[in-house]
Structure 1
């Protein structure tokens, strides 16, 4: 049990800002700070200045700790955007290149080469193929763009830059951020043979540790700039997505965090690594050695924004309960084309079957359609052998609609929990408190649940028929594999 007076600090490196929370052992937010970041975008290019990451982190940290002088800080942890990499000077950690952000796709031409060289390893890890925006293709691009740096550079992820500045010296990288750079999470090593084939020198690679591992202490220089006491333990962090899962408290086997924002993202906990024949689920490693599988769908609230720009959604939602189920069936997508989870279909397009009477019915049908895809995701995960019967924690902008939360509970046929706060910085505060303790126990103390929503008894079975119809339509169009459709449809019978 952590001391009552301890403060735990979480630093979240987002795309637009750095967010820092100082949190008590019981989950009370004692201080917060934010500092803006600036991106440079041009077509497939998306870069940030790594020096700005540190300036923003130290300023936000100082703001969060401004009123907490004299309080003991038990630890600090940092998360970063997944797949963001750069080269730094091996001697002093000084950034040698810009930070290539999570969605920079200039390395797309390297993806086939990466997948050919590492096919066996990527298959063993469950995701089967790397994507163009993943970090390993970007590393190859960096090495080709800057051949003069190879002899004196080290690979770094976004969080590594902050950790090195905090401790004042070299740091290992965490397995979570290293997943998209090719780390073998099963053996917790770099696949040196694969990387050698790709021309990546072993000396370029930092050490690897699990998230939640102490990697040093705050040095005097960083203490003066951040307000963190000198000697504060620095704990290896994770990606921002895993940080949000930690902040939601989804850390027990069978528990899941469903994040409904522009798109829909599911992340859960399993005791064993999932084998996914479609390669749409990939797993991070938990601090306790368990697995954190997840996937990102292209459906989500972004589809609502596309369909009803500038409309008063509260007005449309006021009558949504009158259309349960709607007379039309909708498959909403946040983007124009393409689905990623629970199936991969680059040519998938949004559709509406039938003619809605008005915008109110179309809006209700879209809410239901997104909820059906969420159910399909869970049914697919269950078909892979994933336990899905634990707590389900809903986060993201979609939770602002009380009606939609109730609808999701009804469509899924299970209770859902809404955390009081689930931001990544809170997840990093939780992670900072985990060394020597079970992460799920720490989260139980620090993550507060705002409300629990039970499915309406009268809604039992109400949405089964339209759900089966949507599954069948996705299969008929050739997007959802027929055997997968049969498995999940059987669960709705």
Structure 2
């Protein structure tokens, strides 16, 4: 029997809604861009998000064929940006626009909070900054003290859509709560948030594992869309939802997304504590840990210098690897992960053709990726078993081949590693399946499996060690 799940993704620029079955097969999808103003990086109206969701759900659910069994739709969940927060009044109405993760006005509050957190939290997350929800909450309290008495609850972006669907606003999940100060190791709100920052206990949400059912679809919405009162599942941050959609949910599984930057997220049995602050860990719904970090290295150099005919460059690279050249295509100044080197600059080999430079740059990014995983293995004491690839960088066959050989692990590319699919998987994880691991095993479709070419592995081992030596010579490592 076919059953179905709805995934909703609220991004910075727009919303996407998908309907998939229990095998992850897409039944319908729709997306809509938001009409935003020049302040959209700082604040956005949650009403705009909900209006877009309603229209997209109208489009999908009212557009299904007459013989489609809507009673087989089981659950819905939501993903959205991490660190975006909204103050609600006693009627669950926003007192202010959503304060976006990208709003830099709370930088000073973030620094203060980090100092306080370091005194109280031994091994948990303390990397608060302007992008953290707790920093924005404190900024709002100090910027609008007259609103303090009207605040009934602070929520996150995905919580708002979950609330509009279910009328339950007081529950969030581990991934959203992390940057609002929740201690995901001890599973509680730390006392310093109340005692030193001045928040009220009643403002803080109940925090549950991702995938938890928080309520049922409101009756009016169920009638509008011809649905039963389906289950509404707590939301998840966009980065974690994309990791879930990539397939990387078991201990030893890792996801590398290569877009403008390189983002690594994975699963370990034990908490990864990085004294340098390059990595931080979310809590997995099954009690594991989901460490991650973001590099300034990525595929932006391709957009700048090689976008004219990417297929041509990839065909040329296939004939040139391994190049034996040391390259690092770092466009901006400084690196944050796996190196903390604000003085770092790009490394470019001399006297090479443009095709050779392209191939060497692909290898250089793979070397940065391997260094990142070496640090993860060192800090966690656990081995990286497989890497699940996502982002624009995963579309290059030759790059996947290089990366598999440099990392010496299998690389898997999921057919559709989107945040909306991640939300749909979370909707299914405790309503139809027994866990997120089981849901992922059925709902992700692997498009490619790339296993290391052992001849290339040996050649790249030498080149990688030379790469590390160059970083040490330059005092980057």
Query: What is the TM-score of this pair, normalised by structure 1?
Result: 0.90
How far does residue 80 in structure 1 lie from its aligned partner after superposition?
0.9
1:446 matched residue in structure 2 = 443
- Tell me the distance in 1 between the aligned counterparts of 2:164 and 2:428: 21
Instruction: Tell me whether 1:192 sits opposite 2:191 in the alignment.
Output: yes
2:231 matched residue in structure 1 = 233
2:399 matched residue in structure 1 = 404
How far does residue 346 in structure 1 lie from its aligned partner after superposition?
2.9
Query: The residue matched to 1:251 in structure 2 has which SS?
Result: coil
Candidates 370, 376, 388, aligned match of 2:365 = 370
Check the 8 A contact 2:85/2:100 in 1, yes or no.
Answer: yes
How far does residue 39 in structure 1 lie from its aligned partner after superposition?
4.3
Candidates 325, 330, 354, aligned match of 2:327 = 330
Instruction: Tell me whether 1:315 sits opposite 2:312 in the alignment.
Output: yes
- When structure 1 is superposed on structure 2, of 26-35 and 384-393 the one drifting more is 384-393
1:426 matched residue in structure 2 = 421
Closer/same/farther in 2, CA of residues 95 and 157 from structure 1, 3 Å limit: same
- Tell me the distance in 1 between the aligned counterparts of 2:115 and 2:220: 45
How far does residue 349 in structure 1 lie from its aligned partner after superposition?
2.3
How far does residue 45 in structure 1 lie from its aligned partner after superposition?
5.0
Instruction: Tell me whether 1:78 sits opposite 2:65 in the alignment.
Output: no
1:180 matched residue in structure 2 = 179
Query: The residue matched to 1:124 in structure 2 has which SS?
Result: coil
RMSD of aligned Cα (Å): 2.0
How far does residue 329 in structure 1 lie from its aligned partner after superposition?
1.7
Closer/same/farther in 2, CA of residues 250 and 274 from structure 1, 3 Å limit: same
Query: The residue matched to 1:345 in structure 2 has which SS?
Result: coil
Matches within 5 A, 1:64-463: 64-65=60-61, 66-67=63-64, 68=68, 70-89=70-89, 91-125=90-124, 127-153=125-151, 154-224=153-223, 227=225, 229-308=227-306, 310-334=307-331, 336-352=332-348, 354-435=349-430, 437-463=434-460
- Tell me the distance in 2 between the aligned counterparts of 1:471 and 1:121: 37
- Tell me the distance in 1 between the aligned counterparts of 2:291 and 2:451: 25
Number of residue-to-residue matches in the alignment: 470
- Tell me the distance in 1 between the aligned counterparts of 2:424 and 2:414: 15
Query: The residue matched to 2:429 in structure 1 has which SS?
Result: coil
How far does residue 423 in structure 1 lie from its aligned partner after superposition?
0.7
Check the 8 A contact 1:7/1:72 in 2, yes or no.
Answer: yes
1:476 matched residue in structure 2 = 473
Closer/same/farther in 2, CA of residues 238 and 70 from structure 1, 3 Å limit: closer
Check the 8 A contact 1:83/1:177 in 2, yes or no.
Answer: yes
Query: The residue matched to 2:104 in structure 1 has which SS?
Result: coil
How far does residue 327 in structure 1 lie from its aligned partner after superposition?
5.0
Candidates 52, 57, 72, aligned match of 1:61 = 57
Query: The residue matched to 1:296 in structure 2 has which SS?
Result: strand
Check the 8 A contact 1:166/1:222 in 2, yes or no.
Answer: yes
Closer/same/farther in 2, CA of residues 41 and 188 from structure 1, 3 Å limit: farther
Check the 8 A contact 2:325/2:463 in 1, yes or no.
Answer: no
Query: What is the TM-score of this pair, normalised by structure 2?
Result: 0.93
Closer/same/farther in 2, CA of residues 357 and 391 from structure 1, 3 Å limit: closer
Check the 8 A contact 1:117/1:194 in 2, yes or no.
Answer: no
Closer/same/farther in 2, CA of residues 75 and 152 from structure 1, 3 Å limit: same
Structure 1's unaligned 5+ residue stretches are: 481-493
Query: The residue matched to 1:403 in structure 2 has which SS?
Result: helix
Check the 8 A contact 2:85/2:136 in 1, yes or no.
Answer: yes
How far does residue 96 in structure 1 lie from its aligned partner after superposition?
1.6
- Tell me the distance in 1 between the aligned counterparts of 2:190 and 2:403: 41
- Tell me the distance in 1 between the aligned counterparts of 2:281 and 2:161: 25
- Tell me the distance in 1 between the aligned counterparts of 2:346 and 2:120: 34
- Tell me the distance in 1 between the aligned counterparts of 2:229 and 2:388: 35
- Tell me the distance in 2 between the aligned counterparts of 1:64 and 1:50: 21
Q: Cα deviation per residue 1:112-138 (whole Å; 9 max; x = unaligned)?
A: 21011111455411x442232222111
- When structure 1 is superposed on structure 2, of 275-284 and 216-225 the one drifting more is 216-225
How far does residue 263 in structure 1 lie from its aligned partner after superposition?
0.9
Closer/same/farther in 2, CA of residues 458 and 328 from structure 1, 3 Å limit: closer
Query: The residue matched to 1:188 in structure 2 has which SS?
Result: coil
Structure 2's unaligned 5+ residue stretches are: none
- Tell me the distance in 2 between the aligned counterparts of 1:132 and 1:347: 23
Candidates 16, 20, 28, aligned match of 2:13 = 16
